[in-house]
Amino acid sequence: MTAPALSLRHALLALAVTMVWGTNFVVIKVGLGQLPPLTFAALRFAFAFIPAAFFLKRPDVPIRNLAAFGVLIGLGQFGLLYIALHSMILPGLASLVMQSQVFITIGLSMWLTKERLRGFQWTALAVGAAGLAVIFSHIDASTTVLGLGLVLCASLCWALGNTVQRATPSANSLAYVVWASAFSVPPLVLVALVMEGWPAMSAGVAHASVTTWAVIFWQSFGNSLFGYAAWGFLLARYPAATISPFALLIPVSGMAASALLLGEPLPTWKLIAAVLIISGLAINLLGPRFAKPLQTS
């Protein structure tokens, strides 16, 4: 069965999500200036659940599915990412390392659903991977081994979360993300109590500035509700091999935002990596248009 061609409207939606998620790394860094990492993550998902849950009916999916997604994305992806960004890795580099989820998601999908990659998709992933390799070759002393390990584990949790959500393609994407967030908060709070302690948690909330609260709400509504609802909507309608490569643009916007807002350098090698990543995305998007004539000729 041939996969559906990606429409222009859905391509633009995927681009919007990647822009939000890319700049998100800088936003997280701002919030971590006043809040402990796991406390920050717990607040993000608490406000993603309330008040939206009062307006959206719980989707008709197994509770275990919602719980698995909530724990994987809440504690697994963002809990680990926030800890790493606190002091172990720079936002621009973190936005890159997280994109290993692209390859993990496609691999899991091929294994579980028997999706097959077409020739142009292999080419697109190879070109995008070359861009990632350029950046990996320029890792400097500002990144710790533990920080890299935490972000890699976070990307694995993101890929597993993608796979869990794709098992319920008929569910309303926004309602799914909202109700799954309810399962993110308890484990985040419990682990925060153990790792950060109640005094640090309460002090962080009490002294949070208006900017920090704005960051929390942006995390809740912009990233959790819009981002994951839109991403889940796309994954339910297209193969993972079509949608996941869009995430390769996240490090591009992440590095650009870090350079503009945090003063991180943007040397030539980063620009080369960005060109490779965008080229890989273009091959993935335009490939079906060229593949069909070749098949029918």
φ, ψ dihedrals at 267, nearest 5° = -75, 175
Mean pLDDT of all residues in 61-72: 96
Share of the chain above pLDDT 70, in %: 92
Q: Of 247, 290, 256, 268, whose CA–CA distance to 101 is shortest?
A: 247
**Number of domains into which the chain is organized:** 1
- Residue of 259, 258, 252 whose CA lies nearest to 278: 252
- Asked if residue 18 is part of any domain, the answer here is no
In a domain, 256, yes or no: yes
Taking 90 as the threshold, does the pLDDT of residue 273 lie above it? no
Domain extent for 120:
23-296
Alpha carbons within 13 angstroms on the beta-carbon side of residue 244 total 31
136 CB-contact burial (10 Å; exposed 0-12 / middle 13-18 / buried 19+) = middle
Structure tokens at 263: 């003063």
Residue 5 lies in a domain: no
Q: How far is CA 194 from CA 75, 89, 151, in A?
A: 14, 23, 21
281 pLDDT more than 80: no
60-69's contacts with Cβ under 8 Å and 24+ in sequence apart are 60/171, 61/168, 61/171, 61/176, 65/164, 65/167, 65/168, 66/176, 66/179, 66/180, 66/182, 66/183, 67/180, 67/183, 68/161, 68/164, 69/161, 69/164, 69/165, 69/176, 69/180, 69/183
Please check whether residue 142 is in contact with residue 90, taking contact to mean a CB–CB distance below 8 angstroms.
yes
Q: pTM (2 decimals)?
A: 0.80
Residue 282 lies in a domain: yes
Buried b (16+ CB within 10 A) or exposed e, 248-257: bbbbbbbbbb
**Contact present, 26 and 258 (Cβ < 8 Å):** yes
Does 221 map to a domain?
A: yes
- 273 lies in some domain: yes
* Per-residue pLDDT reduced to its tens digit, 247-267: 778 888 888 888 888 887 778
3-state secondary structure of 271: helix
For residue 288, what pLDDT is reported? 67
Predicted confidence at residue 154, as pLDDT, reads 95
* Domain-embedded: residue 228: yes
Distance CA 125, CA 123 (A): 5
Q: What phi and psi values does residue 60 have, to the nearest 5 degrees? A: -80, 70
Instruction: Classify residue 8: in a domain, yes or no.
Output: no
Distance CA 44, CA 70 (A): 12
The arithmetic mean of pLDDT across residues 113-124, rounded, is 76
- Bigger pLDDT: 283 vs 288: 283
